[in-house]
Amino acid sequence: MQCPICGSDTNVSDSTPRQAQTLRKRVCKAQGHRFQTEERRIGLRLTEDVHLRHSGDGQVQSVPFQPERLQDEVTQAVMGRLSEAEIADVVNGAISYLRFEVVPERAKFLEGEEYDKVIKSRLAQTGKPHQGPISAIYDHEVRSAVLRQLRIREHRLAHVLYAMYFEGRRNPMIGRQGWSKAEDVLEWLFSEDAYPDVRTDIPSRPQTSTYEWQPQEPSTHPEFVVKRGPELLITVTGGKPKRPPEPEGQYDIQWPATVRDRGVVGFLESRFRGSIRHAVLGRPNAKTLAPNVAWWVLHDLQGQRRVDSSQLANGVLDCLRRVDDVAYLRWVTKRKDFRAIREFRDEALGLISYPSPGLQFSARGPSHKHVTLIDTDAAGKGSLIPNSTQTTPAPLDADRTHTKTDDERT
């Protein structure tokens, strides 16, 4: 910078960073003129000067906005619905929207103790002092930007999955009540912000019983899991293929055939819980819900050293259908490989019309599972158990008890 008095070059003798600007003392090289400047950056750097403020507790993250963390979040939320390239495209679009639309209009500068706290935290983590202003935007602004990009790019099912993760959260601080039932999901799905073209009447939900269960670690765990890969249909065009006497390998097959790929891997409860966390992402008490669901499923598999992956997946389906509608719809979208919004809608409608008995995890509940024994004679379908009578709820599955018949009592 040149001296405003004589036009000579200057040196900086001291710098003092402030919240919104930096004060610099300068000395003229030629005549020794001294003056002070206030320098302010035009615009904020998203990954340097902008932090996220949690909309729940209002706290500011100690590190600036990190695109890689957003990409990881989107990857988990869409549950395999998008490729890596598609996820990167969505995240880049969201970042551009934040940089040019959100930050200039809604970023608020940090001041006072809040500014000093963030500066000290950044210095402790990076070892480099930050000079200049620091601002913050709310985390829900970032997720709204992602939701917007998914809608624009017509990633319909990924859009719905991310909406259940983000819009489904309860956040009274910003006036969001969250989604607790499939009805809430469908109301959003049928709105003008989503997909009104699939709108239909939402049925009323019949009454169901709700049971309590005290989560308890199962006595045994599986040791191995049989994982079954996708079935590959291999065809040959251009004439009728000839079948060789004995195929030498999967890639040597030259006729239309279905090859089933499967393998056996060791069971890890941590990995099983991790897959459940993708379904319960954004749900209330998600940290405890995932292990509770895992234990519920594993109780039915006690004593089985080798299990099929479908046993685990279907057990989670059954449990989530009883526990949390939104988590169930996220899991079932991946498990049943829905390809269209209407398939998702029909599943949600079926969940409302034919709900499963409710289940609550509670420290007061019994440690064994319960089910109601149905009087099949009264239903006109014939007796499944000779001379059976309807009883109060009896232990289910892992710890079943048998209600004696009249013949056994005599």
Q: Does 350 map to a domain?
A: yes
Question: Quick one: 303 and 351 in the same domain?
Answer: yes
Q: Does 4 map to a domain?
A: no
Q: What average pLDDT does range 317-345 have in this prediction?
A: 96
Question: Quick one: 14 and 74 in the same domain?
Answer: no
Question: Quick one: 241 and 346 in the same domain?
Answer: no
Q: Does 2 map to a domain?
A: no
The alpha carbon of residue 68 and the mean position of all alpha carbons in its chain are separated, in whole angstroms, by 16
Express each pLDDT in 205-215 by its tens digit.
999 999 999 99
Predicted confidence at residue 313, as pLDDT, reads: 95
Express each pLDDT in 85-94 by its tens digit.
999 999 999 9
Q: Considering 144, 178, 212, which residue would you say is the last residue of a domain? A: 178
Q: Does the pLDDT value for residue 231 go beyond 80?
A: no
The band of 41, judged by pLDDT with boundaries at 50, 70 and 90, is low
Q: Considering 349, 367, 385, which residue would you say is the last residue of a domain? A: 367
Predicted confidence at residue 400, as pLDDT, reads: 37
Q: What is the pTM of this model?
A: 0.71
Domain count, the chain: 4
Question: Quick one: 93 and 146 in the same domain?
Answer: yes
Give me the domain span that covers residue 92.
46-178
Question: Quick one: 312 and 359 in the same domain?
Answer: yes
The alpha carbon of residue 128 and the mean position of all alpha carbons in its chain are separated, in whole angstroms, by 34
Question: Quick one: 278 and 217 in the same domain?
Answer: yes
The band of 374, judged by pLDDT with boundaries at 50, 70 and 90, is very low
The Cα 176–Cα 174 span in angstroms is 6
Name residue, tokens 């109060």: 392
Express each pLDDT in 210-230 by its tens digit.
999 999 999 999 999 998 754
Predicted confidence at residue 229, as pLDDT, reads: 57
Name residue, tokens 């202003």: 133
Q: Does 402 map to a domain?
A: no
Q: Considering 159, 178, 197, which residue would you say is the last residue of a domain? A: 178
Question: Quick one: 207 and 148 in the same domain?
Answer: no
Question: Quick one: 217 and 240 in the same domain?
Answer: no
Express each pLDDT in 247-305 by its tens digit.
344 434 344 444 445 688 899 999 999 999 999 998 988 999 999 999 999 999 999 99
Predicted confidence at residue 390, as pLDDT, reads: 36
The alpha carbon of residue 14 and the mean position of all alpha carbons in its chain are separated, in whole angstroms, by 49
Question: Quick one: 216 and 297 in the same domain?
Answer: yes
Q: Does 375 map to a domain?
A: no
Sheet bearing 262-266, strands edge to edge: 262-266, 224-228, 306-308
Picking from 8-12, 43-47, 106-110, 383-387, which range would have the lowest pLDDT averaged per residue?
383-387
Cα dist from 383 to 96, 330, 397, 401, whole Å: 65, 37, 20, 19
Question: Quick one: 96 and 119 in the same domain?
Answer: yes
Q: Does 66 map to a domain?
A: yes
The alpha carbon of residue 394 and the mean position of all alpha carbons in its chain are separated, in whole angstroms, by 35
The Cα 395–Cα 402 span in angstroms is 9
Question: Quick one: 190 and 315 in the same domain?
Answer: yes
Cα dist from 361 to 10, 255, 371, whole Å: 70, 52, 15
Q: Does 385 map to a domain?
A: no
Mean pLDDT estimate for the chain: 81
Cα dist from 70 to 29, 276, 328, whole Å: 48, 20, 24
Q: What average pLDDT does range 67-83 have in this prediction?
A: 95
Q: What average pLDDT does range 369-375 have in this prediction?
A: 44
Q: Does 410 map to a domain?
A: no
Predicted confidence at residue 250, as pLDDT, reads: 40
Q: Which residue has the higher pLDDT, 407 or 153?
A: 153
Question: Quick one: 218 and 354 in the same domain?
Answer: yes
